[in-house]
Amino acid sequence: MSLTRFLIIYLLSFFILSGCIPFISGQTNFGDTMEMQTANTVNTVRQLEIQGNYHAAAQKYLQIVVETNNPIAQQSYQLSAIEAFFKANMPNEAKTEFSKINAPQSFYSLGNLKAKYQFLQAKMALVDGNLVQAKNYFNTIDFAKLMSPNLKIKYKQIQAQIFLAENKLLKAINEWNIADKLAGTDTFLIRENHRNLWRNLSLQPVAELETITTTDKTIRGWISLALLNKVVSIKHLPTSINHWKLRFSNHVAKKYIVPEFIANIPVSLNKPQQIALLLPLTGKYGDRSRIIQNGFFIVSEMNENTNFIPTIKIFDTNSDNILQEYQKAVEADVDFIVGPLEKEAIQVLVKNTKQLPVPTLVLNHLKTDVDVGNLYQFALSPEDEIKIIVERAWMDGHRTAVAFVPDANWGNDVLNTFITAWKAKGGKIISQYSYDAEFEKNIPINLRKIKNVEAVDMIFMLAFPSAAIKIRPLFKYKWKNIPIYSTSHIYAGVIDTKRDAKLTGIRFADMPWILKLAGEAKKWQRSLKNSWSDEMKKYKRLFAFGIDAYNLLSFLKELNEYNWQGQTGSLVIDDKGLIHRNQLYWAEFIQGEAQLLE
């Protein structure tokens, strides 16, 4: 054998045994056709592995075995072929090739080659369901003596698969995460490790995936992606993956696994063709639900694009039947589900699942965080208004406040939001008061107890018009000229100068639908006034809520990139799928009329 040939074979053997095959490109002068051919094949097989074409890679490895004269390199390539068959999910072919290995025991005194052989022995045992034997093979390997990152990673991957066989899914994923760290910046090793994790995770049953609870966001991301793959139909995958990306924007799976996952999925339409609307049309929320429904329908019915008229299917839901009605909507093969409305029904829907099968926009915000795929939450949240009010009052130069809210659960929630946001800015709360039905008598008593009155430079008041017109005069004795800020609850949405004259000077934040109509909204509002004149006076904002719920379905993907201007406000989405109103219009009562503040 020539010295050149010997060196080439030796170097190839060294790289293979080390678990890494270098790319060979550019002008090469091997001086030997066989070695040139082998080197080209090595380069080709690596490209096949990068592409994920492991079946072809296995065949190429076997071709190299024939082309190579060095017995050590032959053996290593043969082991690589067997491993490629495993990656291609071809265990029978892997076992057949493994049975052909016939080398003297002394041959396996070579550390790395022996380790590769033992890894495959353990894999064979796992495929055969022999966990005890697999662990015996695995336990003979000394992790500390493994020289290359590739072999250290394989060690962790086998450990992960053993944990899977023992139904220890969380421990298994931890091992793959450790393998990621061992890969350093080697993109090939990282990609292969992610693929190894994903292949094994994709085989886990839904029930097993659902049991995993952890605060580790990387692990939660892998579990959520696996559940999505199991639960969601191919029709909903594009939208569902967008939701996953929103929740796990920096997840490692986004680089390799997600692109490979979605490569063959058909691109979804921008607008859903079939929609299910789940509302409590009977019971105490029936009136409100019908208003939301009509707001939802007005956009569809008056859409200038007559080529796009989606089918909308209505389901009457409550907390008792939500699971059954939701399943009916799923079986109806809809593109999107809107609702339910009641918090109790939403809680029942998401209680025992981590992945909804169809993209779902519920029409409320839950108080507690939920980690559920395909779940969006949209509400006319007073807490959103509070944050906007705090920003405005602070920009207006105020630093000390008193707060008055109704003595009710929702009033206390709003008060807590205000106090938290105001203190986060650095503001001070001089006094806070929750008023009851006898507020006209009790508020003056409370005012007399307030110390350091002169330090107060603003009032936050949460009240409906009927209460606000009685509370407002009570402040004149102590704070006649102190600015008062309120939420949209203080304005009925229709001009009543006689009633609202007592509210002069109060500033409040409200939606465009109430304060500044634009574009198609004028047409929609005219139509609703003609058909629902009484309801427009009482539930005006709920019509806008239904309109935005319909229009949001076409803009959810863009909400994480920029704000979308709806009728209820400027909308944005957070990484939990909660849609917030982060910009509203401002108005002030002047001579009994709410006038827009530009």
Decide if pLDDT at 524 tops 70. Answer: yes
Please count the other Cβ atoms lying within 10 Å of the Cβ belonging to residue 478. Answer: 16
Decide if pLDDT at 22 tops 70. Answer: no
Mean pLDDT over 213-234 rounds to 95
- Of 342, 363, 378, which residue sits at a domain end? 378
Q: Are 499 and 402 contained in the same domain?
A: yes
CA distance 101 to 103: 6
Q: Are 397 and 486 contained in the same domain?
A: yes
**Domain contains 292:** yes
Taking Cα atoms as reference points, which of 564, 563, 560 lies closest to residue 575?
A: 560
Q: Are 28 and 142 contained in the same domain?
A: no
CA distance 374 to 364: 15
CATH number at residue 319: 3.40.50.2300
Confidence class of residue 111 from pLDDT cuts 50, 70 and 90? Answer: low
In this prediction, residue 427 carries a pLDDT of 97
CA distance 270 to 555: 8
> Which domain does 6 fall in, by range?
1-102
Is residue 150 a contact partner of residue 189, using CB atoms and an 8 Å limit?
yes
Is residue 295 a contact partner of residue 542, using CB atoms and an 8 Å limit?
yes
**SS3 of 256, please?**
coil
Is residue 568 a contact partner of residue 382, using CB atoms and an 8 Å limit?
no
Decide if pLDDT at 20 tops 60. Answer: no
Give the count of domains, the chain.
5
**Domain contains 519:** no
**Domain contains 593:** yes
Q: Are 591 and 472 contained in the same domain?
A: yes
What are the start-end ranges of the E strands in 117-161? none
Mean pLDDT over 387-410 rounds to 96
In this prediction, residue 75 carries a pLDDT of 83
Q: Which residue has the tokens 């719920």?
A: 549
Mean pLDDT over 293-298 rounds to 94
Taking Cα atoms as reference points, which of 188, 121, 217, 201 lies closest to residue 161?
A: 201
Q: Are 590 and 479 contained in the same domain?
A: yes
CA distance 487 to 473: 18
Single pTM value for the model:
0.85
**Domain contains 169:** yes
Return the structure tokens found at 567: 């009728």
Parallel, antiparallel, or unpaired for β 593-597 and 564-565? unpaired
CA distance 484 to 243: 40
In this prediction, residue 107 carries a pLDDT of 52
Mean pLDDT over 298-313 rounds to 77
DSSP-assigned letter for residue 5: H
Q: Are 44 and 89 contained in the same domain?
A: yes
Q: Are 395 and 490 contained in the same domain?
A: yes
First to last CA, the chain: 88
Decide if pLDDT at 552 tops 80. Answer: yes
Q: Are 5 and 83 contained in the same domain?
A: yes
Q: Are 54 and 80 contained in the same domain?
A: yes
**Domain contains 558:** no
Higher pLDDT, 129 or 4: 129
Q: How far is CA 141 from CA 119, 159, 199, 520, 532, in A?
A: 8, 11, 24, 71, 77
In this prediction, residue 536 carries a pLDDT of 87
Q: What is the pLDDT of residues 239-271, one digit of tens each?
A: 999 999 999 999 999 999 999 988 878 766 567
Return the structure tokens found at 536: 């427009």
Return the structure tokens found at 389: 């009010």
Sequence-distant (≥ 6) Cβ neighbours of residue 416 within 8 angstroms? none
**Domain contains 75:** yes
CA distance 552 to 567: 11
Decide if pLDDT at 342 tops 90. Answer: yes
Confidence class of residue 52 from pLDDT cuts 50, 70 and 90? Answer: confident
CA distance 405 to 157: 58
CA distance 168 to 457: 59
Decide if pLDDT at 551 tops 60. Answer: yes
Decide if pLDDT at 561 tops 80. Answer: no
Residue 336 belongs to what H/E stretch? strand 336-338
**Domain contains 365:** yes
Q: Are 439 and 294 contained in the same domain?
A: no
Decide if pLDDT at 112 tops 80. Answer: no
**Domain contains 295:** yes
Q: Dihedrals φ, ψ of 403, to 5°?
A: -130, 135
In this prediction, residue 104 carries a pLDDT of 54
CA distance 78 to 72: 10
- Of 64, 82, 102, which residue sits at a domain end? 102
- Of 186, 219, 245, which residue sits at a domain end? 186
Q: What is the pLDDT of residues 78-106, one digit of tens each?
A: 888 999 888 888 988 988 888 888 755 54
**SS3 of 512, please?**
helix
Q: What is the pLDDT of residues 471-505, one digit of tens each?
A: 999 888 778 789 999 999 999 998 899 999 999 99
Q: Which residue has the tokens 């707001």?
A: 295
In this prediction, residue 307 carries a pLDDT of 58
Q: Are 396 and 506 contained in the same domain?
A: yes
In this prediction, residue 32 carries a pLDDT of 43
Q: Give the distance from CA 391 to its chain's centroid.
A: 28
Taking Cα atoms as reference points, which of 91, 80, 155 lies closest to residue 128?
A: 91
Q: Are 454 and 490 contained in the same domain?
A: yes
